Amino acid sequence: MSNHKIHILEKGFKKRHPYKKLRELLFSPYWFPVEYSRAQIRDRGYEVHFFKDVSDALFDCDILILSSRTIDTIIATDSRYESRTAFCIECKEKVPHLVWFDARDSAGNCQFDVLPIVDAYLKRSLYRDRSIYGKPLYYGREYTDYYHREYNFIEPVETEKNPQCETEVLNDLSLVNKMHAAWGCGAEYHWPTYSKLDIVRYFGHAGLLKFSPNHIVEPVTRSPKAKRHVSFASLFDEKRYGVKTVGYQRKLGYDASAALDIPNKIVGRVPRNDFYNTLADAKVTVSVFGWGEICFREYEATYCGSSILMADMSNIETYPNFYQADKYYTPFKWDFSDFEEKLRYLLDHDDERIEIATAAQQFLMQQWTDDGRKAFADHFINIITK
């Protein structure tokens, strides 16, 4: 009996390749876990194929997955298609099961126009309380809406319109049954998008990557018990965000970090050359929201053995389930009222800090094992066939 065929339309996908093509492997992280678990997916009766362009062969499948960034590119460059919905309607007429993969960063900022058409809507993270999607959120996110309401923050009028800040409301909440949390940075391959030379040059003793025989690059960890000279690292500011509402939490986090009288801290962005060495030398890494709630920094720091202190993530659902408070990370309130207390506690209680960092690191490394691949394959098949 032949396997069910899953076709994925993704222009940016680069197939696994020997070392000299490492940059191509690193280019498209979203689909890395699918490629990495390809054999386990096949064992469950499904064969995955990637397509960069629309063709008759694309529609010869049981399940078609459309990657949102690819479709946006097609709509912008191909006059045959007027909109996302028009494209999805045409696809739906040609395949038995249509899936939309929303690659946008935030759990908010959805593309609800396609939801009535597709059979399943995957998003890298979702709000646990799906009723939130029926409410208008200022700049499309729960946290931007929070700072607008609680701090009376209003976006400057000169800010240019940004598609990542659309505020769409889902009028028919019964459609949330189609929405499923796909996978985020904890499953994606994103270490980092530089060349092999950059990896050798910049990682230093942190050494996040190693080459394996099948040309997959896997994380290398640094023990949380290792001696560390940096008390905490807040490696961010709000200046890179043209949309001030999106960067507002970063501003609060930067100001709160800079104001603390704690020695050996590093606050603000550092050169790329120093980034991983800083994480590997920090007892605590502070993480805040940006375009989305989830940031690669949490995972990079965890591989480096640093303990994560982060804005509360209890409202977010993603895969793998990394954001378990006081188990894999330490949360603080969005108003930063307990930020200093939580930070000083971690710095004063080495055993607890190391315990959390170790548990988080072990959890992430589990994703790279055969059991981790099997678990991802089960998750992937479950969400695309619902």
Q: How confident is the model at residue 198 (pLDDT cuts 50, 70, 90)?
A: very low
Token pair, residue 226, equals: 């290792």
CA distance 122 to 99: 7
Q: How confident is the model at residue 325 (pLDDT cuts 50, 70, 90)?
A: very high
Question: Residue 82: how many CB atoms within 10 A of its CB?
Answer: 9
Q: How confident is the model at residue 261 (pLDDT cuts 50, 70, 90)?
A: very high
pTM of the model: 0.89
CA distance 345 to 309: 11
pLDDT at 225 over 60: yes
Percent of the chain with pLDDT over 70: 85
pLDDT in tens, 45-104: 999 999 989 999 999 999 999 999 899 888 888 878 889 999 999 999 999 999 999 999
Pairing of strands 217-219, 209-211: antiparallel
Token pair, residue 384, equals: 């695309």
Token pair, residue 43, equals: 């064992």
pLDDT at 356 over 80: yes
For residue 154, CA distances in Å to 143, 157, 167, 248, 318 come to 13, 9, 15, 10, 29
pLDDT in tens, 267-286: 999 987 788 889 999 999 99
Average pLDDT over residues 100-121: 96
Token pair, residue 343, equals: 């930070």
Specify the 3-state DSSP secondary structure of 123. strand
CA distance 347 to 51: 49
For residue 152, CA distances in Å to 5, 139, 157, 176, 332 come to 51, 13, 15, 30, 21
Amino acid of residue 197: L
